[in-house]
Chain A
Amino acid sequence: EPEVTQTPSHQVTQMGQEVILRCVPISNHLYFYWYRQILGQKVEFLVSFYNNEISEKSEIFDDQFSVERPDGSNFTLKIRSTKLEDSAMYFCASSESQTGANVLTFGAGSRLTVL
């Protein structure tokens, strides 16, 4: 079964460092998303991406965050200068089409720990 893959599974970084989280969406999917989940809390929307541009973003997705699809297969989330409160599980998701169901398939997540 096709899946969304994310790397790394866990990253530890020092506050102020740049972090790049990588995702390979399902190959025929056209829409890509990043969500985050602070430990034990709700899953929060960060950004959605379609046709090589951001289609929607939340207030969490400030200037410290950026997304890119550098090579037609990878979809990356960059955090420029990490803060302690960026520690969370980051989920990438993708979806296929413009149907009403629009089921998002999630990756296994990348756990980011900022020290």
Chain B
Amino acid sequence: AQKITQTQPGMFVQEKEAVTLDCTYDTSDPSYGLFWYKQPSSGEMIFLIYQGSYDQQNATEGRYSLNFQKARKSANLVISASQLGDSAMYFCAMREGPSQAGTALIFGKGTTLSVSS
């Protein structure tokens, strides 16, 4: 079974509009972390935002926010006021288990976001 599901292969948005990239996850572990990474055409993986399973509030980082719905097991990324430079592939990832590093991040298949002017 897929641990991380990103159902939108591609999304299109106009500059300055908001966009939501979907991510659902599957785990039976009560302790986990959810991450979003951005991969521009240059190929590097850039960390955007993190949400812990016990965090009471949705994570925010500048124009990025994470709509965390624990009961639905969803962790959608919301990008407000899209910019041309936001055009990239976006990956949702999950780490299972308590606070122990070294546990692998498992990635979804990604969503390609295209921002037009």
A98 CB contacts on chain B under 8 angstroms: 99-101
A58 nearest in chain B by CB position = B104
In the complex, how many residues of chain A place their beta carbon closer than 8 angstroms to a beta carbon of chain B?
A: 32
Q: Among A11-19, A20-28, A38-46, A78-86, which stretch is in contact with chain B?
A: A38-46
Q: Select B45's contact among A43, A45, A96, A100, beta carbons within 8 Å.
A: A43
In the docked arrangement, what's the CA distance between A58 and B43, Å?
Answer: 23
Any chain B CB within 8 A of the CB of A75? no
* Cross-interface CB contact of B102 among A44, A48, A89, cutoff 8 Å: A48
Contacts of B93 in A (CB 8 A): 43
A67 to B3, CA, bound (A): 26
* B interface with A by C-beta (< 8 Å): 31, 33, 35, 37, 42-47, 50, 52, 91, 93, 95, 98-110
A114 within 8 A of B: no
Q: A42-B107, A44-B107, A100-B52 are in contact. Are A31 and B91 (CB under 8 A)?
A: no
Q: How far is the CB of A43 from chain B (nearest CB, A)?
A: 4
A95 to B100, CA, bound (A): 11
A97 lies within 8 A of B44 (CB): no
Query: A98 CA to B103 CA in the complex, in Å?
Result: 10
Give the chain A neighbours of B110 by CB distance below 8 A.
42-43
Number of interchain pairs (Cβ within 8 Å): 75
- The answer to whether B33 touches A43, judged by C-beta atoms less than 8 angstroms apart, is no
User: A50 vs B100: C-alpha distance in the bound complex, in angstroms?
Assistant: 11
Q: Bound state CA distance, A56 and B96, in angstroms? A: 13
5 intermolecular pairs with C-beta atoms under 8 Å apart: A43-B45, A45-B105, A97-B101, A100-B33, A106-B46
Q: Please state if B44 and A109 are interface contacts (CB–CB under 8 Å).
A: yes
Residues on A with beta carbons closer than 8 Å to the beta carbon of B52:
100-101
Docked-complex contact B107 and A103, CB < 8 angstroms: no
- Output the least CB separation between A113 and chain B (Å): 14
CB distance from B105 to the nearest CB of A (A): 6
Q: How far is the CA of A12 from the CA of B101 in the complex (A)?
A: 33
A7 at the binding interface (Cβ < 8 Å): no
Measured CB to CB, the closest approach of chain A to B77, in angstroms, equals 16
